Amino acid sequence: MIQFIEATKVYGHSDRAALDHLTLTVPQGCVYGFLGPNGAGKTTAIRLLTGALKPTSGTVLVEGINVADEPVKAKQKIGFVPDSQEMYDKLTGYEYIGFMADVFGVSKQDRAERAEKYLKMFELADAAGQRIQSYSRGMKQKIAVIGALIHEPPVWVLDEPMVGLDPRASFLLKEEMRRRAEAGATVFFSTHVLEVAEKLCDQVGIIQRGKLLCEGTPEELQHRAGDESLEQVFLEMTASGEEAKDE
């Protein structure tokens, strides 16, 4: 389970909160899509969740653990796929998976089984012996996903995971996200790609300028807006007010 309670982040000397009293709960077994335009505060929320940043005020809990107070304990519960492609380029795919398995204390047997399973699932087995620097963007994204899953975490956090994936890789990832949720994990991901959210998510939240504008199942949000597509809801909700700043 993930809980944001009035979580607020003000960067440096900014006069505006990048994340403004965010309150939301993602229960076990739920795929939650965090939607919003560029600069809305999605990555900031995810940084609070993964312990990379501390909230200016408010609380973030992962499996009941306060991330700011017990970051190591909280991080052990999380598999994280960041939005950047900054990785350990000199390592091969196998070495990277091994590195992640070491970080999370995964046994030799478990890591071998899981590496095989996920490399096969994401069709990356042939490239696993090559250095990551030779990978395409999509392949890097896949190896990051495998690295995040190697300890089979109860909470899976992905920041814009579909970016750079071809349709097939994207399909495979979405399938795994659903499977993990059905197995009881909590899956939280950000996106500005709406078709993804519509089909994949149990719950959707729309954020703009650091504030959660609305929340519900994709169907509920559509229904509330008079049976328009989620895209239409999103465009209308985020159209008003100041333009979002750049990334």
Which residues are at the interface with Mg ion (CB under 5 A)?
42-43
Q: Which does 242 bind (CB under 5 to 8 A by kind): ligand ADP, Mg ion, none?
A: none
Question: Cβ 96 to ligand ADP, closest distance in Å?
Answer: 25
Query: Contact 19/45 with Cβ under 8 angstroms?
Result: yes
Q: Closest CB to ligand ADP among 43 and 50?
A: 43
User: Per rule CB under 6 A, is residue 205 in the interface with ligand ADP?
Assistant: no
Q: Which does 107 bind (CB under 5 to 8 A by kind): Mg ion, ligand ADP, none?
A: none
Question: Min. distance of Cβ 221 from ligand ADP in angstroms?
Answer: 18
Q: Under the criterion CB under 6 A, does residue 11 sit at the interface with ligand ADP?
A: yes
**CB of 206: closest distance to ligand ADP in angstroms?**
11
CB of 78 to Mg ion, least distance (A): 17
Query: Which one, 11 or 171, has the nearer CB to ligand ADP?
Result: 11
Q: Token pair for residue 76?
A: 């052990």
Residue whose structure tokens are 């100041």: 242
- What backbone torsions phi and psi does residue 186 show, to the nearest 5 degrees? -105, 125
| CB 158, min distance to ligand ADP, A | 12
Q: Which does 191 bind (CB under 5 to 8 A by kind): Mg ion, ligand ADP, none?
A: none
Strands (E), the chain: 2-9, 19-26, 31-35, 57-62, 65-66, 78-81, 155-159, 186-191, 203-208, 211-216
Residue nearest to Mg ion (CB): 43
**How much is the CA Rg of the chain, to the nearest whole Å?**
18
Q: Which residues contact 42 (CB under 8 A, 6 or more apart)?
A: 34, 36, 159, 160, 190, 207
Which of ligand ADP, Mg ion, none binds 36 (CB below 5-8 Å, type-dependent)?
Answer: ligand ADP
CB closer to Mg ion, 92 vs 191: 191
- CB 222, CB 17: distance < 8 Å: no
- Which of Mg ion, ligand ADP, none has residue 41 at its interface (CB below 5 to 8 Å by kind)? ligand ADP
| 3-class secondary-structure state, position 237 | helix
Residue 228 CA: distances (Å) to CA of 27, 208, 233:
27, 20, 7
Looking at the Cβ atoms of 60 and 132, the one nearer to ligand ADP is 60
The verdict on 245 binding ligand ADP (CB under 6 A) reads yes
Edge-to-edge strand order for the sheet containing 2-9? 19-26, 2-9, 57-62, 65-66
Contact positions with ligand ADP (CB under 6 A) in 23-82: 36, 38-44
**Distance from chain centroid for Cα 7:** 17
Contact flag: residue 114 with ligand ADP (CB under 6 A): no
Report the interface residues with ligand ADP, using CB under 6 A.
11-12, 14, 18, 36, 38-44, 245, 247
